[in-house]
Each structure stands twice: as structure tokens, then as C-alpha cells.
Amino acid sequence: MSVAPEHPGDGGIAVLASRVGADEKRLFDALDRRGVAFDQVDTRGQWFLDGRRDLPWRLVLNREIGQVRAAYAARSLAAAGVEVVNSADATEVCGDKWRTTLALRAAGLPVPRTALGLTPQAALDALETIGYPALVKPLTGSWGRLVVPLRDRAAAEGVFEYVAALSGPQSHLGYVQELIDKPGRDIRAIVVGGDLLGAVYRTGESLRTNVALGAATLPCEATPEITKLAVAAADAVGADIAGVDLIEDRDGRLLVLEVNHRVEFTGFQAALGDRVDVADRIVGHLLERAQR
């Protein structure tokens, strides 16, 4: 059962979400099936008082879709003594592509050649080392939005001339990455509590194979290599619940692209069917955390 934030359920568990989509409904149903009382907290009406530690929840699942609200909510809840899944640190690292890259690289995981230019001109200079073709990606964001392929120096100069005209210092940072010659698909693996739930292929005709952009999902064998990389990637960013994106190069070598702290699993669930119940596994992990 879900109740308003000002009338907390006896379970002391909350789900933080300003938008209730198909995945959130699956999570709510899984909680209901297990008889777990919970609150659905809409971040658009939530505020935190400095120093307050008497919040009604002991554990919060952070499903907030807005990265800034998700990060500040996680940090504020942690300061009030509430355990948050995923943690504030994991939310902040996963929400920033450069910080994710640094964490993956520090863990010794294979990632595409990537650079961060602190100005548009510096990003252009970095591309001379990265090489073409390449990609420029926003530091924050999901669903493959604003990812632009750069075929050569002329294309890059056009893009970064536009970037230089944007307002705000963060928008002038250039996250550039080699363009992997992939076989028309990438791999989404979901990790919960250090265990791989499974993996799917996301296929599409365009550069971006995001389900939100219409990519199809097909079952993918969870090989020992996929399992090892996905679990290690989730651990590298400190995420209890993670959607790990992997990509194959033309030689079949697997690379880690990014880790999502608010994993969307509708396409994943449809592809794997009754082999795994993602929502129930997440709820099971929450209950384990709540009993510690």
C-alpha cells in the first residue's frame, strides 16, 4: 500500500519518485505482494530541514528521475540518518559520465578511450589524441540524448563552436569518447545486491540503442565475462542496484560504457520474461538491507 508522505506506513520504507512509470508500478506491486507498507514520496513536494533526524523512514529506494533532485534528496536523507538505495555517493558518480569513467578506470575495467576537455578548445585538442570517429556526450543525461557523432575535425569544430556559445560553465566541458565499431547492438546487464539478474541485447538501426528511443531487446546469455564485468562495474561506482551498459567491439572484446543508478527495466523484463522478476528481486534486496 502507498500512502502520503505525511502519513508514513509502519514499515518505515519509502520509494522516492516524482514520476510513476511502469517500473515504479511493478515495484509497488512487488511491495504489496510481500505485504510491505511503504510511502511513495513525490520529490516535487518534499523538503528537508537542516539538522532534522526524525524522518519516518529507515530505508528509501531512490527512483527519482531528475538527477539533481535524486542526488540532493539522497544526500539530505543520508544526513538525516536514513539509508538510501542507491547511496548518495553512487547517485552522484553514476549521474556524471566523467566521474563514472574515472571510477571504472580506477577499478581496472575496460572502457573506451575517453577524455574531458575543460573548455571547448581543449576538447578539440583532446580529440587529436582520441582520434576520429568519436562521440561527444553530455556529462549528465540519459536515453542517449545529445550524443553527437564526430566524423572528423570539421564536424567537431562545428559542434564545439555551438558548445562555446552555451551559458553555464559545466556546458563548456567536453566529454569526448572514441566511437566503437559495434555490431549494431549493446548489452544491458542488471545487478542487484552484487548478483547479476541477467543480460539483454539492445538492438537498433541508429547509433543509439536505448529502449526509450525504440531499440528492441533480446535475451543475451549471461556469460562469465559479462557477469564479472557487470558486477565489478556496479561495485566500482558503489551501486547496490545498477544497470550496466556494455559494448562489444568488432573483435568481440567487451567494454563498459556506463552504469545507471536508476535502472529502467521494462524492456529487460519483457525480453527475459519469467526467468527473473526484477521488481521482486529489488524488493527482496531492500528487505535484506532493512533487516541489517
| pLDDT, mean over the chain | 91
CA-CA-CA-CA torsion sign (213, 218, 222, 225): negative
pLDDT at position 3 over 50 = no
Whether residues 10 and 80 fall in one domain: yes
Evaluate whether residue 91 is within a structural domain.
no
Share of the chain above pLDDT 90, in %: 82
Listed in sequence order, the residues at least 6 apart from 44 whose beta carbon sits closer than 8 Å to its beta carbon are 18
Domain that holds residue 61: 2-85
Whether residues 79 and 118 fall in one domain: no
Q: pTM here?
A: 0.90
Evaluate whether residue 290 is within a structural domain.
no
Which of the residue ranges 35-44, 62-71, 132-141, 270-279 would you say has the lowest mean pLDDT?
A: 132-141
Evaluate whether residue 104 is within a structural domain.
no
pLDDT attached to residue 167: 82
Whether residues 211 and 280 fall in one domain: yes
* Tally of domains in the chain: 3
Listed in sequence order, the residues at least 6 apart from 8 whose beta carbon sits closer than 8 Å to its beta carbon are 14, 39, 56, 57
In this prediction, residue 116 has a pLDDT band, given cuts at 50, 70 and 90, of very high
Which of the residue ranges 99-113, 193-207, 242-256 would you say has the lowest mean pLDDT?
A: 193-207
173/167: higher pLDDT: 173
pLDDT at position 97 over 50 = yes
Whether residues 194 and 163 fall in one domain: no
- Rounded distance between C-alpha atoms, residue 63 and residue 279, angstroms: 12
Evaluate whether residue 101 is within a structural domain.
no
Listed in sequence order, the residues at least 6 apart from 155 whose beta carbon sits closer than 8 Å to its beta carbon are 149
Q: List, for residues 71-96, the tens digit of each pLDDT value.
A: 999 999 999 999 999 999 999 999 99
CB 280 within 8 A of CB 23: no
Strand pairing class (38-41; 2-3): parallel
Q: List, for residues 221-239, the tens digit of each pLDDT value.
A: 999 999 999 999 999 999 9
In this prediction, residue 169 has a pLDDT band, given cuts at 50, 70 and 90, of confident
Whether residues 243 and 159 fall in one domain: no
The CATH number of the domain where 214 resides is what? 3.30.470.20
Among 44, 57, 65, 54, residue whose Cα is nearest residue 84: 57
pLDDT at position 214 over 70 = no
70-93 in b/e burial notation, b at 16+ Cβ within 10 A? bbbbbbbbeebebebbbbbbbbbb
- Domain end marker among 145, 162, 178: 178
pLDDT attached to residue 286: 97
Q: List, for residues 236-277, the tens digit of each pLDDT value.
A: 999 999 999 999 998 999 999 999 999 999 999 999 999 999
Evaluate whether residue 98 is within a structural domain.
no
Evaluate whether residue 102 is within a structural domain.
no
* Number of Cβ within a 10 Å radius of residue 36: 19
CB 121 within 8 A of CB 97: no
pLDDT attached to residue 171: 85
CB 283 within 8 A of CB 30: yes
The identity of residue 6, as a single letter, is: E
Which of the residue ranges 37-51, 139-153, 175-189 would you say has the lowest mean pLDDT?
A: 139-153
Among 12, 173, 177, residue whose Cα is nearest residue 83: 12
Whether residues 281 and 196 fall in one domain: yes
Evaluate whether residue 137 is within a structural domain.
yes
pLDDT attached to residue 5: 39
Overall residue count recorded for the chain in this entry: 292
- Domain end marker among 178, 199, 219: 178
Region 276-284: mean pLDDT is: 98
Listed in sequence order, the residues at least 6 apart from 292 whose beta carbon sits closer than 8 Å to its beta carbon are none
Evaluate whether residue 93 is within a structural domain.
no
